[in-house]
Chain A
């Protein structure tokens, strides 16, 4: 068997294993879905009028605010889902079965690749579910073309991949699932301090650079532009660069962690 077909075959076996875990124990995934949905409802129905009033110099209403925050909520959904990935990777590493995999003549990276693909699929599933909630409460894309929809899905996939690789690294470096969940927390906190809920200009001056120069803001601005027709500018390239950079960093980091001698 060639090494590529070995990789594909073993990785798809590992992917099936991970998807089986998700199917048998959906509670972890569903719990992580809860926070973006609650945030969405909270911000739209409780804070929506006030927050909306602060947008665009004061003209926006609740439904416009829903449109404004949805891109951020979707990225926050991805961040939250990848926390689950970090936890399940850390959990997996404490299991004896990983030692068994390491002593079998299988593609060595297949365990990790299985987690990565499984996590990206889960992220997209979660995005669809949270998106459906948003549509149910009145979100409509104003003028996105088919191409813009495709690019939006592509961007969400790329973000999922980048955050997943980082989450895998966090899962591998953590001694236990609890540690992994703490280490991966920034994946959900960063979107909160981006342009997800309020424009960066509306933040205190000292804080603006923190909100500006982090991966979520350009990704959110790009998604907003694709779905709602706002100005994307250089944010598109910035978002892609951030994602590729994080994905490569996460990949290299995870690989070196996984290839260490286990304890």
Chain B
């Protein structure tokens, strides 16, 4: 593993599950622009892996390389035991890909799209009809089956897209931003679909720019920033990488704010919104001692909120261009540094 990767789980996992996807030093550039600058990945079979990153971080490029759509400039990658460069057809036989932009044929109906996939997987006619009917039903598309796919809503297109991906019962599924552009209800439906896939033992490689999504679905998360993997681990591990939570005290009276600020020297100040932030792990014990101390100092805030770190903080800390703090006790304002 490259030294730039902050792995927090070198010992985790026990006996290693066979890798469904592994990559070493993947590079890709378009002209002068380096999109992937040497990324390493190892995704155990049967797990959900999320590649998280802002727009333009290189997520889609990584998926395109691993799904044999484009070739890497350097590095090696194996998917389902096949090298993407030397045995792309071996890879293709094992994977299913749902790209960021809907990969359905809009000119023909949903059902015809499914039958097209069945034909390309060389399923016998009867089997093709059965699989098509089953998947259309599972993805709630039976009613729309005879309508041209171009008339489908965004959520329906996405569902058809995934249904088409599942026709060949792939063992590894790539989902490139599966919920981008979906409304909240469709997004939750999509999450349900992804969880179902996982329970069938499929390995899922998904990219997302939503932290909540990675948190909800993924066993392991890699944060991709500027073509490099900035951090990798489970959601919990990533959250632990950045300093603990904070207690935020907000004042409405500027005078009260000033006196509190001078009394609480260790607090970081937010003069504009008259707020002070104190590092805290959010435990009851710490809160009580903090409150006691505020009382004894005669400080009365108008609002007190406890903020525990979430993936947003990790994301902003890792992708905001700020150095990753390595002293957990130092006050830190990840959200502010990202602005």
Contacts and interface: CB of A to CB of B under 8 A. Distances in A.
Contact of B99 (A16, A99, A106): A99
B104 A103 contact: no
B293 interface: no
Interface string B149-182: 0000000000000001100100000000000000
Contact of B70 (A10, A25, A105, A261): A261
A24 B146 CA distance: 13
Contact of A100 (B70, B71, B97, B148): B97
Contacts of A105: 89, 92-93
Contacts, number: 62
Interface in A1-45: 1, 9-10, 13, 16-17, 20-21, 24-25
Interface string B86-130: 000100110101010111111110001000100111100000000
A96 B97 contact: no
A97 B104 contact: yes
A95 interface: yes
B92 A104 contact: yes
B99 A96 contact: yes
B67 interface: yes
A34 to B, nearest CB: 21
Given A100-B97, A103-B67, A262-B70, A13 B108 contact: no
A25 B102 CA distance: 21
- Interface size class for chain A? 20 to 34
Contact of A17 (B93, B116, B148): B116
A101 B68 CA distance: 11
Contact of A20 (B67, B70, B108): B108
A136 to B, nearest CB: 32
A13 B116 contact: yes
Contacts of B70: 261-262
B120 A103 contact: no
Contacts of A13: 116, 119-120
Given A17-B105, A96-B104, A97-B104, A103 B68 contact: yes
Contacts of A17: 105, 108, 116
B149 to A, nearest CB: 10
A99 B102 contact: no
B108 A100 contact: no
Contact of A1 (B67, B99, B106, B122): B122
A102 B68 contact: yes
A95 B69 contact: no
A261 B69 CA distance: 7
Contacts of B92: 103-105
A184 B116 CA distance: 29
Contacts of B148: 24
A20 B120 CA distance: 16
B24 to A, nearest CB: 21
B108 A24 contact: yes
A105 B92 CA distance: 5
Given A103-B69, A262-B70, A21 B107 contact: yes
Given A13-B120, A103-B69, A96 B103 contact: yes
Contacts of B71: 261
B97 A9 contact: no
Contact of B102 (A1, A96, A261): A96
Nearest to B118: A13
Given A20-B112, A96-B102, A99-B69, A104 B120 contact: yes
A8 B141 CA distance: 31
Contacts of B93: 105
Contacts of B164: 100
Nearest to B98: A100
B251 to A, nearest CB: 53
B143 to A, nearest CB: 20
B105 A10 contact: no
Contacts of B122: 1, 9
Contacts of B107: 20-21, 24-25
Contacts of B102: 96
Contacts of A9: 122
B2 to A, nearest CB: 25
Interface string A86-109: 000000000111011111111000
Given A24-B108, A99-B97, 7 more contacts: A17-B108, A95-B106, A102-B68, A103-B69, A103-B92, A261-B71, A262-B70
9 contacts: A13-B116, A13-B119, A96-B101, A99-B69, A100-B99, A103-B67, A103-B92, A104-B120, A104-B121
Top-6 shortest CB links A-B? A96-B103, A100-B103, A105-B92, A105-B93, A261-B70, A13-B119
